[in-house]
Structure 1
């Protein structure tokens, strides 16, 4: 990383507004290239020493964060999703919990939807709002650890349904285009020395072997049928960007077993240096903060 790049992101004497903007804009860049889960917390721990401890609550919001703790995914079938994220993608189970019900958890998760249902004068159940308060439905969760982030799987089920088995209480969404506002996706970072095209091929093959027919990756060439997608040459599995600020970025979009939107990326060359510079600047920003 050059000193000029750091100065572009973080001026020598930043004001509070500059700190806030920098904290918010470069967080994802730093997390994306953190090689192990301990790196980001270590930065925060360093910043929480000395005078920074007493003044942390008056710091900019972005400087009170340790980073992204997990991404949550509401699933239709818990066992199927858990199998994909642990056995196919190799995540490690952190813990599982569940049978959550009652007024407190219901209000914590669903107050906004209850208010909206009241304003629209409709039954909340017609809007996909489960009855955790009365206990007709229950919530189960499982956490899966990857190198630098955790994924939380959530399932809302009927109270009489065993944990992990069967489908969710609510129907899955039919339209899952990533262009819809409010859509989110989970992005996995593929190691530098991995053949990206072969990874996508093997991912689809292993998922198909397990009957996970939703796991289908897009191609970088135009295909109009499923047969054409399957018959596309293996080099069409990956979109490699060679120009502009994203030069060195390789990506593919893929649906997961629940129909969720996944992305797999590699960041090499110039774009890798850009993300690393952002991560280094984030470390400098938090380490320099005195409240």
Structure 2
């Protein structure tokens, strides 16, 4: 029995949920800049008198999900965008070093072309692309960038694989293998 077989039917990541401040801006970014496809949009959802929102989602009972939009991202996981309004809503700006911070990495075939595209779109990028030349991740190049509202994202590419793969054994799942 493999490690995967020991789990109760988990096959992979279906989607990543992100709460955004402006749905139209987020959809335009994920479709227009990153090339995703908006497949499904619905809402609003609220429970004006009960505790559905707290019981099922762990948010304020008077929170409203204004809209949900699901974006297909190439051959990888989908992204589910939420636009909420809630009495206790906060707007933290996490850095990668902060506990609870996260980022989404998109595999790209040509990371230099992605950098040029992001620059042309006016998207803030950090230094890079950075080619990794040593260690188990050697062979990959990375580029961090920000969505207009501050969400941290990464472009990653390893067209010839990564150094750790030469040792055999378990390999990470890769969207380049799904092509």
Length, aligned pairs only = 167
Structure number with greater CO (CA < 8 Å, separation at least 6) is 1
- What is the distance in 2 between the residues matched to 1:202 and 1:130? 42
Look up the match of 2:116: 201
- Contact 1:138/1:157, CA 8 A, preserved across alignment: yes
Q: Paired residue for 2:104, among 174, 186, 189?
A: 186
Describe the shift of the 1:169–1:141 C-alpha distance in structure 2 as closer, same or farther (beyond 3 A): farther
Shift of 1:185: 0.9
RMSD: 2.7
Shift of 1:258: 1.7
Look up the match of 1:108: 56
- What is the distance in 2 between the residues matched to 1:263 and 1:78? 21
- Contact 1:156/1:169, CA 8 A, preserved across alignment: no
- What is the distance in 2 between the residues matched to 1:93 and 1:272? 36
Deviations 1:211-234 (A, max 9, x none): xxxx31111xxxxxxxxxxxxxxx
Q: Which has the higher strand share?
A: 2
Q: Provide the TM-score with structure 2 as the length reference.
A: 0.81
Q: Which has the higher helix share?
A: 1
- What is the distance in 1 between the residues matched to 2:29 and 2:163? 28
* 2:32 aligned counterpart, secondary structure: helix
Unaligned runs of 5+ in 1: 1-13, 24-58, 114-128, 159-167, 209-214, 220-236, 281-291
Specify the structure having the higher radius of gyration (Cα): 1
Deviations 1:1-53 (A, max 9, x none): xxxxxxxxxxxxx6xxxx33xx3xxxxxxxxxxxxxxxxxxxxxxxxxxxxxx
Q: Paired residue for 2:89, among 162, 170, 191?
A: 170
Look up the match of 1:151: 79
Q: Provide the TM-score with structure 1 as the length reference.
A: 0.52
Give the 5 Å matches for 1:251-262.
251-262=142-153
Q: Are 1:131 and 2:67 matched, yes or no? A: no
